[in-house]
Amino acid sequence: MNRFGIIGHLDRPQIKRITEKITGWTKDNDIECRICVDLAGLVGGEEISSEKDEIWKYSDVIISLGGDGSMLSSARIAGPHDIPILGINLGSLGFLTEVSEDHIYDSLERLKNDDFKIEERMMLEIKAPDLDRESHVALNDVVFDHGYTSNLAKLDLYSNDQFVCSYDADGIIISSPTGSTAYSLSVGGPIINPLMDALIVSPISPHTLTLRTIVFPSLDKITVKAVGEGRKIRISTDGQILGNLENGQTAGVRKSGYRLKLVKLNGGSFYEILRTKLHWGARPLLNS
C-alpha cells in the first residue's frame, strides 16, 4: 500500500488534528496521499485533494475518519472499485471502525508494510424507477417507509417473482448481514455473522402481530411493490434518501456483484465486538 486516500466526517472535533497527523506521516514516509476536497478546505492541501467520489482513482486504500456513518459513505465509494477501507474511529460506537486515535501511527506502518488481513462483506444493490442512476449500492440496508406522513406504508413483497406477503406497517428494512446489527436489529431482526451472505427482510412496526423477519438466500431477487393509493413510499440506502415509489411501482433489491473489502488489523472476532460494543450476552447487574 503506497497510495492513501482520506475521507473524513467534518463535524468531528478531532478531524483536523487526525488528518494532519496522517498527511504528515505520509509525507515523512514517501507515501502518496490524496484527501477529499472537504478536508482540504479544513487543513489545506488543495494540491492533493480530489472530489470524494473520485478519490478511489488515486488510492490503494481509503482511510475513513469518523464513525460508522463515515464508513458507510466510504463503502459506497470504494466497494464498486475493489478498494479496501480502513476505519479510524472518531465517533462513539464505531462498530465498523476498529482503529482508535492512539493506534494511528502503528496502523499506518502496518498498511505500508502490507501487514493486515482483508475481510470481505456482502453489499446490496437496488434498482427502482426515477433514481438518479440505474442502480445504487448499500452496505447496511435498503429501507422502504412512509416518509414524513403518519399513514401506514402498504407494500407487497416478492422473492424471485413469487408473492411472499403484504405489509401494512411503517415500512420494511432489507439488510445485509453487516446491516443486521444496525437498523434491522432495532426492529427485532436477527444478528447474522457478517461473513455470511443473506438477505434479511424486517417489518417496521407492523400492524399485525404475525409479521416477523424473514431471511432469504443471498441469490434471491427481492421485489417491493407500493400498493397504497395516493401514498408515496420513501426509499433510502444506508440512511441516505434516494427517492420514492408511487402506487403500483416496484423496486428490486439483490446481492450486489461488488463486495466491500475491510482492512482488519486486530484479531478480535465479531462476537467480541458484540460483547464489548453492544453488551451482547451481558448478565444484568444486581444490587449488592
* Strand pairing category for 141-145 and 153-159: unpaired
**Grid coordinates representing 224?**
417491493
For residue 125, the cross-strand partners are 137, 254
Of the chain, the percentage scoring pLDDT greater than 70 comes to: 98
| pLDDT range class, residue 274, cuts 50, 70, 90 | confident
Closest CA to 251 of 230, 231, 222: 222
Residues in the chain, how many? 288
- How high is the pLDDT of residue 168? 94
Fold of 3-116+265-277: Rossmann fold (3.40.50)
- How high is the pLDDT of residue 132? 82
Question: Using an 8 Å Cβ cutoff, are 36 and 92 in contact?
Answer: no
Which residues in the chain are classed under CATH 2.60.200.30? 123-258
- How high is the pLDDT of residue 46? 85
Q: Is the pLDDT of residue 179 over 80?
A: yes
Which residues in the chain are classed under CATH 3.40.50.10330? 3-116+265-277
The sign of the CA dihedral 79, 84, 89, 95 is positive
pLDDT, tens digit, for every residue of 107-146?
A: 999 999 999 999 999 999 999 998 888 889 999 999 999 9
d(CA 237, CA 148): 16
> What integer best gives the mean pLDDT of the chain?
90
Q: Is the pLDDT of residue 259 over 80?
A: yes
- How high is the pLDDT of residue 285? 73
| Mean predicted confidence (pLDDT) in 8-22 | 87
- How high is the pLDDT of residue 40? 84
pLDDT, tens digit, for every residue of 188-235?
A: 999 999 999 999 999 999 998 889 999 999 999 999 999 988 789 999
The sign of the CA dihedral 183, 185, 188, 190 is positive
Lowest mean pLDDT among 39-48, 88-97, 182-191, 223-232: 88-97
Closest CA to 139 of 170, 97, 111, 104: 97
| Mean predicted confidence (pLDDT) in 181-190 | 95
Does this model's pTM top 0.85? yes
Q: Is 30 a catalytic residue?
A: no
Q: Which residue did the predictor score with more confidence, 93 or 144?
A: 144
d(CA 70, CA 97): 9
Q: Is the pLDDT of residue 172 over 80?
A: yes
Catalytic residue among 30, 68, 168, 197: 68
Q: Is the pLDDT of residue 266 over 60?
A: yes
Torsion angle of the four alpha carbons 279, 282, 284, 285, in this order, in degrees rounded to the nearest 10: -80
Lowest mean pLDDT among 42-46, 141-145, 177-181: 42-46
Q: Is the pLDDT of residue 157 over 70?
A: yes
- How high is the pLDDT of residue 287? 67
| Mean predicted confidence (pLDDT) in 66-71 | 86
Q: Is the pLDDT of residue 288 over 60?
A: no
Q: Does domain 123-258 have CATH number 2.60.200.30?
A: yes
